[in-house]
Copies of this chain bind each other. A is one copy, B any other.
């Protein structure tokens, strides 16, 4: 009992939790105060911005994040209502949705990304 390997695992886990929450918290606060969006919102913007190509994305996006389908749906809904993203139905499969940044969304993302990267560097940076 109280195997040293276990202790080490637990330490590793806690340390991960700590950096995770610290970083997420910093990102959350900065994005919220400067751009009025939450971290999850930004993360979706970021994913959509990355895939400049087309595709019935809603689904594929889900594969690139640990978010639930349900969560995705709600975040996208918020982004839509905020006018940052637009959902367009897919013609070859009318269950799916295309996601696209609006101009406002693209602009906001460009600015927010700078802040985001800076904070990542600050929190995860190996410098």
Contacts and interface: CB of A to CB of B under 8 A. Distances in A.
Given A6-B117, A18-B66, A66-B18, A124 B23 contact: no
Given A6-B117, A20-B20, A124 B66 contact: no
Given A9-B120, A117-B9, A66 B22 contact: yes
| Chain A contact surface mostly | helix
Interface in A66-90: 66
A20 B23 contact: no
The copy count of this chain in the complex is 2
Chain A interface size, as a band, is 20 to 34
A10 B117 contact: yes
A16 B46 CA distance: 17
Interface in A1-45: 6, 9-10, 12-14, 16-23
A59 interface: no
A13 B9 contact: no
Contacts of A21: 66
